[in-house]
Amino acid sequence: MYRLIYFMPNITMSVAVAVVFMWLFNADFGLINLYLKEWFGIEGPRWLTDTRFVMPSIAILSIWMGIGGNMVLFLAGLQGISASYYEAAQIDGASKWQQLRHITVPLLSPTTFFVTIMTIIGSFQVFDQSFVMTSGGPAKASYTMVFHIYETAFVDFTFGKSTAAAVTLFIIILSLTLFQMRMSRRWVHYED
C-alpha cells in the first residue's frame, strides 16, 4: 500500500498535477499560503508570479512527481543487496552505522548513479509544469530549454532554430552524462 501511495504521483498525468499545484501555490487562496499564515503567522510569497519563487515552485512539483519512481528504484537496489553481507558484518561485530557506511551505501552506488543520471536528464526536460502553471513567465523566469524549443517550433514556426536548440540540448545532456559516467569510476562499486 505504501509503495502505491508513494509511486502514484509518478504515474499521474503531469498536466493534472500542475493544475492542482497551481491551486496549492495560489497566492490569494492557495493552501500553502493559508497554512503559512495560520501556523507560522507569515504572509506567503506569490509563488507563481514572483520571479524569485517560480522556479523553486516548479522544482517542488517536479521533485514530488519524481520521488516515487526514485523510491522504487532505491527499494529494488536495497532488496538486491545480499543478506550474507550483513550477517558477516554482524559476526565481525559491525554496528548498524558501520553496516550502512561500508555495505549499504557502496552497494547502492549503482542505483544512486542511475537515479542521479535520470534525474538530471529529467530536470533538463521540464516542460509541462512550466507550460501549464506559468506559460514561461513571469518575465521568462520559468522559460526552460524545452519550452524554448516548443515555442520556436510551434508558435514561431522557425523549425531550423528549434532543431538547433534541440540538438544543443542533446549535446548538453550527453556531455553531462558522459562526465558523470567518467566520474562514476571513483564512487560506483559493483558487487563482485
pLDDT more than 90, % of the chain: 89
Of 178, 163, 64, nearest to 121 (Cα)? 178
pLDDT over 80 (residue 191): no
pLDDT of residue 176: 96
pLDDT of residue 1: 83
Q: Find the mean pLDDT for residues 3-25.
A: 90
Mean pLDDT value across the chain: 93
Task: Name the burial class of residue 21, with classes exposed (0-12), middle (13-18) and buried (19+) by CB atoms within 10 angstroms of its CB.
Answer: buried
Question: Of all helices (H) and strands (E), which one includes residue 175?
Answer: helix 159-187
Alpha-carbon distances, residue 165 vs 55, 57, 153 (angstroms): 21, 25, 10
pLDDT level of residue 192 (50, 70, 90 thresholds): low
Q: What is the pLDDT of residues 43-53, one digit of tens each?
A: 999 999 999 99
Which one has a higher pLDDT value, 4 or 23? Answer: 23
Residue with cell string 558484518:
89
Give dist(CA 145, CA 170) in Å, integer.
11
pLDDT of residue 150: 96
pLDDT of residue 25: 96
Neighbours of 101 (CB within 10 A): 12
- For the chain, the straight-line distance linking the first and the last C-alpha, in angstroms and rounded, comes to 34
Alpha-carbon distances, residue 55 vs 47, 48, 51, 130, 134 (angstroms): 9, 8, 8, 9, 10
The CATH code that applies to domain 2-187 is: 1.10.3720.10
Name the residue ranges covered by the structural domains of the chain. 2-187
pLDDT of residue 116: 95
Neighbours of 161 (CB within 10 A): 14
pLDDT over 90 (residue 3): no
Q: What is the pLDDT of residues 109-165, one digit of tens each?
A: 999 999 999 999 999 999 999 999 999 989 999 999 999 999 999 999 999 999 999
pLDDT of residue 190: 83
pLDDT over 70 (residue 103): yes
Cis preceding-peptide flag for 138 (omega within 30 of 0):
yes
pLDDT over 70 (residue 172): yes
Of 17, 27, 34, nearest to 50 (Cα)? 27
